[in-house]
Chain A
Amino acid sequence: MAHTVIVEIDNGKVTVTARGVKGKTCTDITASIEKSLGTTSADSKTGEYYQKSDEKLKVTR
């Protein structure tokens, strides 16, 4: 699945974000990057995380 990983580094603070992936795949993608950098102190999941990877979004007009 095409996706983008964004790493933001600012004054000793690092955040890693995966975009374009749904569900647990997201954490699988970023896990090794997080581990190489240190210890994950906070992990917030967004709505996209809770969507199934094969789920289609319905748009109602």
Chain B
Amino acid sequence: MSHVATIELEIRDLACLIEAAKECGLEFLENQQSYRWYGVSVGDYPLPTGFRKSDLGKCDHALRVKNGNGSTYEIGVCARRDGKPGFTLLWDFWQGGYGLQAAVGTDGNKLKDAYAAAVATKELKRKGYRVQRTKNEAGKIILTATGGR
């Protein structure tokens, strides 16, 4: 191996986000302008750059747990407000989001991992690689790509 790059994941590809959401049992609600949450911020967590308290609950699209009940919280998919392209995901994990966290994992990591796998697979295939996806016992996703140009 000659070098190892560590990457801070950014959500930029909506198609891959939709694919990852499906994998986690979520459905994409295009142009839904609000997402279900507690409704009031108590200010215990910092907001993403460019967002204000009054922006919470508003979004450009949303993700909903397919088999959730009427009280399961949703994820807001919002255009970033820090000048960079892509999306910020907003959700309320109070009480596990009443089923949301079970679907997307702690800190949404299950959804983020599925998104990263979808993006990397897409890019690798575009470059002509054959991609094999595996998951180890600890839950780590490993993509092995061979035969690229």
B93 vs chain A, min Cβ distance (A)? 14
Inter-chain contacts of A51 with B (CB < 8 A): 2
B residues contacting the other copy or chain, number (CB 8 A): 36
Inter-chain contacts of B18 with A (CB < 8 A): none
| Number of residue pairs A-B, CB distance < 8 angstroms | 139
In the bound complex, do residue A22 and residue B2 qualify as a contact, i.e. CB atoms below 8 Å apart?
yes
Residues of B contacting A: mostly: mixed
In the bound complex, do residue A14 and residue B124 qualify as a contact, i.e. CB atoms below 8 Å apart?
no
A32 vs chain B, min Cβ distance (A)? 6
8 Å CB contacts to B: which residues of A1-54? 2-19, 21-23, 26-27, 29-30, 32-34, 36-46, 48-49, 51
- Residue ranges of A at the interface with B (Cβ–Cβ < 8 Å): 2-19, 21-23, 26-27, 29-30, 32-34, 36-46, 48-49, 51
A-B contact pairs, 13 of them (CB 8 A): A7-B124, A8-B140, A10-B139, A12-B107, A14-B6, A26-B3, A30-B3, A30-B5, A36-B12, A37-B116, A37-B119, A39-B7, A40-B8
